[in-house]
Amino acid sequence: MLEFRLGAAAAGVLPVRAPDTGGGQRAGGRILKTNRKDETMAVPKRKTSPSRRNMRRAHQGLKQPTYREDQQTGELVRPHHIDLKTGMYRGRQVIEPKDSF
């Protein structure tokens, strides 16, 4: 920020810089020290082609949920989940069965 003050040595108006706080950038209440004079953002050199964009997004698609058939009841249940009707998990009784399902 530039301020203008009258100087005794000069007959006119001199621009005077405000005192510097250490040459850093403020981020979240603390000052980050930087050695570079010009801070620039990273910008891609070329446009990403639709093929590359789609290959990058290939693993983001929704997957069909997996089910397995329960051996005692024959119902489809999610793997690694407790069956709330019977209270069984991996062949053992782990919780009391719920009556209202």
pLDDT digits (tens), the chain, 101 positions: 555 555 555 555 555 555 555 555 555 666 666 666 677 889 999 999 999 999 999 999 999 999 988 887 888 989 999 888 888 888 899 999 877 65
User: Residue 13: its pLDDT value, please?
Assistant: 54
Express each pLDDT in 10-21 by its tens digit. Answer: 555 555 555 555
User: Residue 3: its pLDDT value, please?
Assistant: 58
85 within 8 A of 97, measured Cβ to Cβ: yes
Q: Report the alpha-carbon distance of residue 59 to residue 54 in Å, rounded.
A: 10
13 within 8 A of 4, measured Cβ to Cβ: yes
**Structural domain spans, the chain:** 66-101
Q: How far is CA 16 from CA 7, 8, 9, 13, in A?
A: 10, 13, 13, 9
